[in-house]
Every structure is written in structure tokens, then in C-alpha cells.
């Protein structure tokens, strides 16, 4: 009998350890089939339900020709000022998801973003794989970023988070909610994060225009010269097609069915 009980206990413990390993290892790498011909992006289940559960967003209203510009900034490469100038000239709002390194190494540019009315998003302080952190470690990453942002710019805190490299799990979304963050993903992206891989402005322009669809959240990286050169024409041509550019604040108000008035 003792041997039988010990055997059952061993199986239960082994099963529990196996389950915990799978649960801890579970992580999602954000990705989707790119939009074509203005069709909205779909990510399918179980991600649709998971994001909805925690108010995470990756696109806006599919019936409205509004798009949302977002940029991920881990380090500066000399092109952000040009992008900011374009956004100012075109009166296009954007959200910049920054890391701690960017805050401390490009503080003047961060202050310009804030002065120009752009939103600062939390891309974590140290750019780790958030899905492999404990809940407390996640909170420390976000808070350390917010504390430094407040110290350098006076902005009290961020409310939108984006996981480094688009890697996350349900716990990241859950813990984020607990401390006041809504995760923002994207529905348009292309390979533009390698600073030394020059493909030309046409490459970036075509990637944006070919994927353009109503409600799109666009992800770009400011390290790319291609982007800095393509954005002015992209914004003009998107406007010519009837698109307008909104902020993530506008998107959240619509998502929550809250009137701005």
C-alpha cells in the first residue's frame, strides 16, 4: 500500500512539474498574415479572446479609414528628428514605445516627443523577454521605466505597454492590467529594425502602402533611414486615399465606447 501511495505521489508530482514547465514556457511571438487589398488583419483564436479579455488592442475599427502610427525606439540612429519633423508638418500624432536606454541616451528627443504632444509608451526598461519574468520582475521593468521617464520629462507614468520583440504570454497581459497598463500590438509591420540593412525609401513606402487597411496600428522603427525618407510620402498618399491619423488615446476611447465629448 505504501509503495502504491508513493507511486501515485510520484506521478502527481511529476505531472505537476511537467504542467508547470509547459505553463511557464508558454509564450506567443506576435505575428499575422499581412493585409492585402485593404483587408483587415485577423489573428484568430486563442489570441483574439485572450487580447479581448485584457483589453489589449492590435487594430481599430475596420469600418473607419483611421490609422495609428507607433514607433519602437531602443536606441538612436540619427533619423528620429527627421521623423518628428514630418509628423509635426503633417499634424500626425504618434506613440513612441521607448526603452530605458533610449530615455537616458536620447533625452532631448524624448522631450521633443512630449512637447509635440506624442504619447510615450512603455517598451520595458531593459528590453527583456517579458514572458520569462516573474510578476514582480515585470512590474519592476515597467516601473523603472516610468520612474526614469518622470525624472527626465515630468511625465508621471505610461499607460500603454508593448512587449519587446512582441513576445508575451497571458501572464504579461494580466499583470500589466493589474498595474494599469494596456498592451498595444500592431497590424502593419515589416523588417525595418536592422540599422545597417539599407533597402531604400521605396521598400518602406511599398511595405506600408501594400498593407494599409482601415483601423491599422502601424509599427515602425526609427533606426531605419528608409522609414525617415518614406514616411512623408506615405502620409500624404494615405491622406489622399481618405485616411486620417489618430492617436492611441482616440483608439482606446472608441474601444471602450467612451465619447471624447
Q: Taking the model in full, what pTM does it have?
A: 0.89
Which residues have a Cβ under 8 Å from the Cβ of 230 and sit 6 or more positions away?
201, 202, 203, 204, 205, 208
Res 195: pLDDT: 78
Res 197: pLDDT: 83
Confidence at 260, pLDDT banded by 50, 70, 90: low
pLDDT single digits (tens) 204-252:
999 999 999 999 999 999 999 999 999 999 999 999 999 999 999 999 9
Is the Cβ–Cβ distance between 105 and 80 less than 8 Å? Answer: no
pLDDT single digits (tens) 61-111:
999 999 999 999 999 999 999 999 999 999 999 999 999 999 999 999 999
pLDDT single digits (tens) 10-51:
333 333 333 333 344 489 999 999 999 999 999 999 999 999
Yes or no: domain 50-256 corresponds to CATH 3.40.50.720:
no
Domain extents in the chain: 50-256
Catalytic residues: 72, 221
Amino acid at each position: 500500500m505504501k509503495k502504491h501511495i508513493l507511486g501515485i505521489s510520484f506521478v502527481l508530482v511529476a505531472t505537476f512539474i511537467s504542467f508547470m514547465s509547459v505553463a511557464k514556457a508558454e509564450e506567443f511571438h506576435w505575428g499575422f498574415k499581412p493585409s492585402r487589398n485593404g483587408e483587415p488583419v485577423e489573428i484568430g483564436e486563442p489570441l483574439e479572446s485572450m487580447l479581448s479579455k485584457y483589453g489589449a488592442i492590435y487594430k481599430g475599427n475596420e469600418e473607419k479609414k483611421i490609422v495609428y502610427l507607433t514607433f519602437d525606439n531602443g536606441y538612436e540612429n540619427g533619423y528620429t528628428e527627421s521623423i518628428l519633423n514630418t509628423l509635426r508638418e503633417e499634424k500626425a500624432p504618434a506613440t513612441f514605445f521607448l526603452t530605458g536606454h533610449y530615455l537616458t541616451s536620447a533625452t532631448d528627443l524624448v522631450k521633443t516627443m512630449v512637447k509635440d504632444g506624442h504619447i510615450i509608451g512603455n517598451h520595458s526598461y531593459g528590453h527583456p523577454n517579458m514572458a520569462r519574468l516573474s510578476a514582480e520582475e515585470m512590474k519592476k521593468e515597467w516601473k523603472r521605466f516610468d520612474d526614469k521617464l518622470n525624472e527626465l520629462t515630468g511625465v508621471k507614468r505610461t499607460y500603454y505597454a508593448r512587449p519587446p520583440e512582441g513576445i508575451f504570454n497571458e501572464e504579461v497581459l494580466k499583470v500589466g492590467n493589474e498595474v494599469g497598463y494596456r498592451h498595444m500590438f500592431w497590424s502593419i509591420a515589416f523588417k525595418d529594425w536592422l540599422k545597417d540593412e539599407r533597402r531604400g525609401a521605396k521598400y518602406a513606402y511599398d511595405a506600408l502602402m501594400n498593407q494599409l487597411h482601415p483601423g491599422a496600428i502601424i509599427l515602425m522603427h526609427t533606426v531605419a533611414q528608409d522609414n525617415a525618407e518614406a514616411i512623408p510620402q506615405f502620409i500624404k498618399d494615405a491622406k489622399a486615399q481618405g485616411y486620417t491619423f489618430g492617436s492611441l488615446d482616440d483608439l482606446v476611447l472608441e474601444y471602450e465606447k467612451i465619447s471624447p465629448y
